[in-house]
Structure formats: structure tokens, C-alpha cells
């Protein structure tokens, strides 16, 4: 077993929104490391979830890292409000930003850690010019919009390339995987280079949340 520290980041998209504070507390109680917040604008992703006020309202509820994944068409429009709400990571989609390097600069200037994400249909070389500037690369293993989908296994191969670029160039970004991750396939993602495991439905449907977190982390 590798001694690599793997971080677990349950996604609140699969939580009961009527009991969100409790659900966030259950993430912390289960021993997870981050709270993954899936923000969707109903345009980039054909679903609506939550916005900066939700982040502001859960901020005082947990000490965990708030890992915000913005599936939105205009990420620049949300940087200030998410920074003021207390987001730690602000991950945007490269498909939604012509000027991705400027978005990264503005995220960092606002005091958050910049992350970038690509959907299954986007080739990994799209990131070539910006991998040196980000703190996180989020690999979406499903088409954006909903929890509970099955992982598209070929997407994991993109991690291998990003892990070798990081090694070769000495970059510092974390690699995160998101979508269709379960206790059974998390280790495959870690083998391919994942440092952070996002899990929505497999966490919130688990009868023993602490056990699923240990499995996701490879403990
Ligand atoms: C999909 C979201 C994912 C999703 C993960 O658009 O970005 O984070 O909520 O949920 P599961 O783990 O259920 O696939
Ligand atoms: Zn996500």
C-alpha cells in the first residue's frame, strides 16, 4: 500500500438540502478532509444547485476546506462573491473561459486557490499552457450536472499524463477526480495519480460514512 496521503472530498450535491448544516457536519464527523461544493448555473451544466450564499452559510459550520467546483458559463462573475463567502478552492471549467490565465490570476488575487476542470470530452492537452499556474486540476469522470452517474473509465487515463507532467516539470498541483467514484474504484484513480477523491452519492448513501471515507482514502 502506498503511503501517499489521499484526501476525501464528499460532494454536497448528493446531500439533503433541507438538512445541509447537519450533512456538512456528517462529512467532518466521518473523517473526510474537504467539502466539495458543486455549483451549477443551469447553463454550463443543465442543473441548478447552489450559490455563494450557501457557501457563506456552511462556512461557520465546518473547519474543513471548502472545495468549490464551478460548473458555470462565466466564472469571472463569481470570484468575488465566493471569496467573500469563504471558499478555499475555486475550480472553474477551461471550456467556460477564453482567458483562463486571467481567471486564475483573479482567483488567486481574491485569496482563493485556483483550480481548473475539464469535462470528459475535453482533451488533456487543453490544459498545457496553464498547468503551471494552478493549485488543483479536477478531472470530471462524468458529464456534468448530476450525481449518481457511472464513471467514464477512459477519463482516468488523463490523470496519468498530468501526473507525469507534474513529476517531470516539478509542478505542485493536486489531482482530483470527480464523478462515479465508489469504494470499489477509488484505488484505481489513486493508482493513476489522484490525490483528492470526490464522492457524492457513494458517501451520502453509505450506512457507515466513516467506513466509506476510509475506503476512499485507501485506509
Ligand atoms: C457532477 C458533479 C460531481 C458529482 C459527483 O456534475 O460535478 O461532483 O456531484 O457525484 P457522484 O459521486 O454521485 O458521481
Ligand atoms: Zn464536482
140-184 pLDDT per residue, tens: 999 999 999 999 999 999 999 999 999 999 999 999 999 999 999
- At 2 the pLDDT is 60
pLDDT digits (tens, 9 = 90+) for 107-118: 999 999 999 999
For residue 199, give the ligand 1 atom closest to its CA. Answer: 12
Q: In what order do the strands lie in the sheet containing 89-93?
A: 7-10, 196-199, 174-178, 136-140, 113-118, 89-93, 65-71, 34-40
CB 190 within 8 A of CB 218: yes
Neighbour-count burial of 112, counting CB atoms closer than 10 A to its CB (0-12 exposed, 13-18 middle, 19+ buried): buried
Q: Give distance in angstroms: CA of 38 to centre of ligand 2.
A: 5
Q: Is 200 in the pocket of ligand 1 (CB under 6 A)?
A: yes
Active site residues: 38, 178
**CB neighbours of 123 closer than 8 A, spacing ≥ 6?**
none
Ligand 1: residue of 34, 38, 44 to mutate (most ligand atoms within 8 A of CB) is: 38
CB 41 within 8 A of CB 78: no
Cα–Cα–Cα angle for 22, 68, 3, rounded to 5 degrees: 85
Cα–Cα–Cα angle for 212, 216, 219, rounded to 5 degrees: 90
Beta strands in 26-132 (DSSP E): 34-40, 65-71, 89-93, 113-118
Dist CA 93 CA 107 (whole Å): 13
User: pTM score, two decimals?
Assistant: 0.97
Question: Would you say residue 137 has pLDDT above 60?
Answer: yes
For residue 203, give the ligand 1 atom closest to its CA. Answer: 12
For residue 140, give the ligand 1 atom closest to its CA. Answer: 7
pLDDT digits (tens, 9 = 90+) for 83-106: 999 999 999 999 999 999 999 999
- At 219 the pLDDT is 87
Q: What is the DSSP letter of 91?
A: E
Dist CA 7 CA 53 (whole Å): 25
- At 3 the pLDDT is 74
Q: How many CA atoms lie within 13 A of 82 on its CB side?
A: 31
Q: Give distance in angstroms: CA of 196 to centre of ligand 2.
A: 12
Question: Would you say residue 29 has pLDDT above 80?
Answer: yes
Among protein residues, the one with the nearest Cα to ligand 1's atom 3 is 179
Q: Is 88 in the pocket of ligand 1 (CB under 6 A)?
A: no
Question: Would you say residue 1 has pLDDT above 50?
Answer: no
- At 9 the pLDDT is 98
Residue that the C-alpha cell 448544516 belongs to:
21
Dist CA 148 CA 119 (whole Å): 16
Of all ligands present, the nearest one to the C-alpha of 145 is 1
Dist CA 194 CA 214 (whole Å): 15
Residue 54 banded pLDDT, cuts 50, 70, 90 = very high
Q: Give distance in angstroms: CA of 168 to centre of ligand 1.
A: 30
Closest by Cα among 33, 37, 30 to 57: 37
- At 94 the pLDDT is 98
- At 4 the pLDDT is 84
pLDDT digits (tens, 9 = 90+) for 59-92: 999 999 999 999 999 999 999 999 999 999 999 9
Q: Give distance in angstroms: CA of 1 to centre of ligand 2.
A: 27
Q: Is 181 in the pocket of ligand 1 (CB under 6 A)?
A: yes
CB 82 within 8 A of CB 90: yes
Amino acid at each position: 500500500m502506498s503511503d501517499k496521503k489521499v484526501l476525501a472530498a464528499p460532494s454536497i450535491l448528493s446531500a439533503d438540502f433541507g438538512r445541509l448544516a447537519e450533512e456538512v457536519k456528517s462529512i467532518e464527523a466521518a473523517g473526510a478532509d474537504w467539502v466539495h461544493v458543486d455549483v451549477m448555473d443551469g447553463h454550463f451544466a443543465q442543473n441548478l444547485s447552489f450559490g455563494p450564499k450557501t457557501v457563506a452559510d456552511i462556512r461557520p459550520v465546518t473547519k474543513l476546506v471548502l472545495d468549490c467546483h464551478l460548473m458555470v458559463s462565466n466564472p469571472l462573475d463569481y470570484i468575488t462573491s465566493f471569496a467573500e463567502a469563504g471558499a478555499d478552492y475555486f475550480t472553474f471549467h477551461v471550456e467556460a473561459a477564453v482567458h483562463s490565465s486571467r481567471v486564475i490570476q483573479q482567483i488567486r488575487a481574491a485569496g482563493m486557490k485556483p483550480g481548473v476542470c475539464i469535462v470528459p470530452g475535453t482533451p488533456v492537452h487543453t490544459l498545457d499552457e496553464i498547468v503551471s499556474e494552478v493549485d488543483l486540476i479536477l478531472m470530471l469522470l462524468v458529464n456534468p450536472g448530476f450525481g449518481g452517474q457511472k464513471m467514464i473509465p477512459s477519463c482516468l487515463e488523463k490523470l496519468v499524463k498530468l501526473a507525469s507532467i507534474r513529476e517531470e516539470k516539478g509542478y505542485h498541483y493536486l489531482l482530483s477526480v470527480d464523478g462515479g467514484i465508489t469504494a470499489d474504484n477509488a484505488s484505481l484513480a489513486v493508482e493513476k495519480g489522484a490525490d483528492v477523491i470526490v464522492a457524492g452519492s457513494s458517501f451520502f448513501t453509505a450506512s457507515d460514512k466513516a467506513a466509506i471515507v476510509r475506503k476512499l482514502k485507501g485506509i
